[in-house]
Structure 1
Amino acid sequence: MDINGKVAVVTGGASGIGQAVTRRIAAAGGKVVIFDLNEDAGQAMVAELGADNCVFAKVNVVDEDSAKAGIEAAVGAFGTIHINVNCAGIGNAAKTLGRDGPFPMDVWSKVIAVNLTGTFNVLRLCAEVMAKHDPVNDDGSRGVIINTASVAAYEGQMGQAAYSASKGGIVGMTVPIARDLSTVGIRVNTIVPGLINTPLFNGLTPEFVESLSQSVLYPKRLGRPEEIAQLATSIIDNDYINGECIRMDGGIRMQPR
Structure 2
Amino acid sequence: MQIDKTSAIVTGGASGLGAATAAALAAKGAHVYALDLQQSIEQAPQVDGVTYVPTDVTDEEQVRAAVQQASADAEAPLRIVVNCAGIGPSARILGKKGVHDLALYRKIIEINLIGSFTVLAIAAEAIATTEADEHGQRGVVINTASIAAFDGQVGQAAYSSSKGGIVGLTLPAARDLGQYGIRVCTIAPGIVETPMLATVAEEFRAALAAGVPFPQRLARPDEYAQLALSIIDHDYLNGETIRMDGALRMAPR
- Give the TM bin, normalised by the shorter chain: over 0.9
Equivalent AA in structure 2 for residue 201 of structure 1: L
Residue 32 of structure 1: how far off its partner (Å): 0.2
Q: CA deviation at 1:200?
A: 1.7
- The answer for the alignment partner of 2:84 in structure 1 is 87
The secondary structure found in structure 1 opposite 2:52 is strand
Match of 1:159 among 155, 158, 163: 155
Matches within 5 A, 1:205-216: 205-216=201-212
Aligned-residue offset at 1:90:
0.1
CA deviation after TM superposition for structure 1 residue 72, in Å = 1.8
Correspondence for 1:76:
72
Instruction: State the TM-score, normalizing by the size of structure 2.
Output: 0.96
The alpha carbon displacement at 1:76 in A equals: 3.0
In 2, Cα distance between the equivalents of 1:39 and 1:204? 22
Aligned counterparts of 2:42 and 2:35: Cα–Cα separation in 1: 8
Tell me which amino acid in the other structure corresponds to 1:254.
Answer: M
Taking the aligned partners of 1:63 and 1:249, their CA distance within structure 2 comes to 31
CA gap of 1:133–1:226, structure 2 versus 1, over 3 A, is same
Which consecutive unaligned segments of at least 5 residues does structure 2 have?
none
Supply the distance in 2 between the matched residues of 1:112 and 1:40 (Cα, whole angstroms). Answer: 20
Determine the C-alpha separation between the residues in 1 that align with 2:115 and 2:231.
22
> Is the contact made by 1:84 and 1:145 (CA closer than 8 Å) also made in structure 2?
yes
SS in 1 for 2:115: helix
Q: State, as a whole percentage, how many aligned pairs show the same letter.
A: 48
Query: Could you tell me how far 1:48 is from its partner in structure 2?
Result: 2.5
Query: Out of 34, 54, 67, which is 1:58 matched to?
Result: 54
- The answer (yes or no) to whether the contact 1:7–1:81 under 8 Å persists in 2 is yes
Counterpart residue identity of residue 175, structure 1: L
For residue 68 of structure 1, report the CA deviation from its aligned partner.
0.9
Q: Is residue 2:87 matched to residue 1:97? A: no
**Residues 44 and 154 from structure 1, CA distance in 2 versus in 1: closer, same or farther, beyond 3 angstroms?**
closer
What residue number does 2:22 align with? 22
Letter in 2 for 1:184: Y
1:69 deviation in Å?
1.3
Aligned residue type for 1:240: Y
**Is 2:117 the partner of 1:117?**
no
Answer whether contact 2:147 2:243 (CA < 8 A) is retained.
Answer: yes
Distance verdict in 2 for CA 1:40–1:108, change over 3 Å: closer
> Are 1:243 and 2:204 an aligned pair?
no
Counterpart AA for 1:48: V
